[in-house]
Structure 1
Amino acid sequence: MKLRPIKTEADYQATLKAIELLFNAAPNTPESDRLDVLSTLVEAYEKEHCAIELPDPIEAIQYYMDTRGWSRHDLESCLGSRANVTEVLSRKRPLTLEMIRKLNQELGIPAEILIQPYELMQTSA
């Protein structure tokens, strides 16, 4: 396979097959160099054509809680109070900058996920 930019889905699939054949290449060999170059090409193509959307902030909080075995009570340290936890998780209150910082530090949720805009529930006045 001649090295060239990946421009089509067919190019992408062919490059993935070439990578698979080189996957066990010994370090510091022409094959491992070729693997590095092909991997870089695939990464660039995927970044442009296969972008994965960030998850919804509230769904991300719930996922991180579930995977760490956290309860709503545990979330109070990040969101400030039981009422805040309820209102944030039910989408009645937006996350504040301080809440985002604490969620990032304590749960490890990336800030770029938490700062995204998201739908709040409309409250009747």
Structure 2
Amino acid sequence: MNDDLKLTIEHWPFVSSLLTKPQSEADYDVLAAALNELLDIVGEDETHPLIGLVDIIGDWIEAYDHEHHPMPVAGSVDVLRYMMREHNLTQSDLPGVGAQSVVSEVLSGKRQLNIRQIRWLAERFGVSVETFI
């Protein structure tokens, strides 16, 4: 048995909670707290000796999130409503989509955005066209 493995076995009871993939919300919370503390220590230093541990814990947290807390897929209307709310816009503030009545029909689901409108919205909000597709 090599020396690294001997040390790992000897110290396992003290580090196992940080080196085990989360199986529950409690495990997840322990890892998230540890990651926050590690990030405070490591900062922006990509060469820090603990960056490998940051990467491992970060990957496990991300995988747990994807499996247990998936992000809902937002439709183009949901995105448009969100953007309007964030920018304090009214339906009349979107002339590139059309008249206020056209915007109203889009927001109510009676009409879909066309490619011209999507391009205008992407440019207006500084996002990719895929945001509205």
Aligned to 2:27: 11
TM-score by length of 2: 0.66
Aligned to 1:47: 66
User: SS at 1:102's partner residue?
Assistant: helix
Percent identity, aligned pairs only, is: 29
TM-score by length of 1: 0.69
Across the two proteins, how many residue pairs are aligned to each other? 114
2:114 pairs with one of 93, 96, 108 = 96
How many Å separate the matches in 2 of 1:43 and 1:111?
26
Which consecutive residues of structure 2, in runs of 5 or more, have no partner in the other structure?
Answer: 1-14
Aligned to 1:123: none
Relative to structure 1, is the Cα distance of residues 82 and 14 closer, same or farther in structure 2, using a 3 angstrom cutoff? closer
User: SS at 1:36's partner residue?
Assistant: helix
* Bigger radius of gyration among the two: 2
State the shift of 1:44 in Å.
2.0
**Superposed counterparts of 1:1-125, under 5 Å:** 1-2=15-16, 3-26=19-42, 27=45, 28-77=47-96, 79-108=97-126, 111-115=129-133
Higher relative contact order (CA 8 A, sep 6+): 1
Which consecutive residues of structure 1, in runs of 5 or more, have no partner in the other structure?
Answer: 116-125
How many Å separate the matches in 2 of 1:13 and 1:65?
34
State the shift of 1:111 in Å.
4.5
Relative to structure 1, is the Cα distance of residues 39 and 76 closer, same or farther in structure 2, using a 3 angstrom cutoff? same
Superposition CA RMSD, Å: 2.5
